[in-house]
Amino acid sequence: MLSTRHRFLSAALYTLCLLYAGPVQAAEPAPPFDVAAESVLLMNERSGRIICAKNPDLSIPPASLTKIMTLVVANDAIDNGYASLDDEVVISEKAWRTGGSKMFVAVNSRVPLRKLLEGIAIVSGNDACVAVAEHIAGVEDVFVEKMNRKAAEIGMNNTMFKNSHGLPDEQYTTVRDMAILADYYISHHPECLQIHSTKELTYNAITQRNRNGLLWLDSGFDGLKTGWFSTAGYHIVATAQQEQDRFIAVVMGAGTVRQREAVARQLITYGFRNFTTLEVLSAATPLAQASVWKGAQDHVALGPAAPVILTVERSSLDSIVVQNDFAESVQAPVAMGQEFGQARILLHDGLLASVPLVALHAVDRASLARCVLHTATLLFIRPPYWGALVLALLLIAACVARLASRTGASSRTRKKHGDNFL
Q: Per residue in 68-118, pLDDT tens? A: 999 999 999 999 999 999 999 999 999 999 999 999 999 999 999 999 999
Distance CA 160, CA 143 (A): 13
- Do residue 314 and residue 372 come from a single domain? no
- Do residue 81 and residue 211 come from a single domain? yes
Q: Tell me what pLDDT residue 192 has.
A: 97
Q: Tell me what pLDDT residue 367 has.
A: 76
Q: What is the CATH number of the domain that holds 213?
A: 3.40.710.10
Cβ partners under 8 Å of residue 329, min gap 6: 290, 291, 292, 293
Among 275, 294, 329, where does a domain finish?
275
225 in catalytic set: no
Residues of the chain scoring pLDDT < 70: 1-26, 368-393, 399-400, 404, 406-422
- Do residue 341 and residue 243 come from a single domain? no
Query: Which position among 67, 102, 146, 225 bears the catalytic label?
Result: 67
- Do residue 187 and residue 91 come from a single domain? yes
Q: Tell me what pLDDT residue 413 has.
A: 57
Cα–Cα separations (whole angstroms), residue 130 to 100, 133, 225, 321 = 12, 5, 18, 52
Q: Tell me what pLDDT residue 404 has.
A: 66
Q: Tell me what pLDDT residue 4 has.
A: 35
Q: Tell me what pLDDT residue 17 has.
A: 34
Q: How far is CA 339 from the centre of its chain?
A: 20
- Do residue 140 and residue 178 come from a single domain? yes
Question: Which domain range does residue 340 map to?
Answer: 2-21+282-359
Q: What is the CATH number of the domain that holds 331?
A: 2.60.410.10
- Do residue 83 and residue 195 come from a single domain? yes
Q: Nearest-CA neighbor of 165 among 62, 249, 58?
A: 62
Residue 14 lies in a domain: yes
Among 359, 383, 416, where does a domain finish?
359
Residue 413 lies in a domain: no
Q: Nearest-CA neighbor of 148 among 197, 181, 185, 182?
A: 181
- Do residue 131 and residue 267 come from a single domain? yes
The reported pTM is: 0.79
Residue 409 lies in a domain: no
416 in catalytic set: no
Cα–Cα separations (whole angstroms), residue 291 to 157, 285, 326, 330 = 46, 18, 11, 6
Q: Tell me what pLDDT residue 348 has.
A: 86
Residue 414 lies in a domain: no
Q: Tell me what pLDDT residue 380 has.
A: 58
Residue 30 lies in a domain: no
- Do residue 248 and residue 308 come from a single domain? no
Residue 412 lies in a domain: no
Among 252, 275, 298, where does a domain finish?
275
Residue 421 lies in a domain: no
**Amino acid making up residue 207:** T
- Do residue 168 and residue 298 come from a single domain? no
- Do residue 187 and residue 157 come from a single domain? yes
Query: Which position among 92, 124, 164, 354 bears the catalytic label?
Result: 124
Residue 91 lies in a domain: yes
- Do residue 238 and residue 216 come from a single domain? yes
Q: Tell me what pLDDT residue 25 has.
A: 44
Distance CA 226, CA 236 (A): 4
Query: Which position among 39, 47, 64, 164 bears the catalytic label?
Result: 64
64 in catalytic set: yes
Indicate the number of domains in the chain: 3
Q: Tell me what pLDDT residue 284 has.
A: 82
Q: Tell me what pLDDT residue 219 has.
A: 78
Cis bond upstream, residue 224 (ω within 30): yes
- Do residue 353 and residue 376 come from a single domain? no
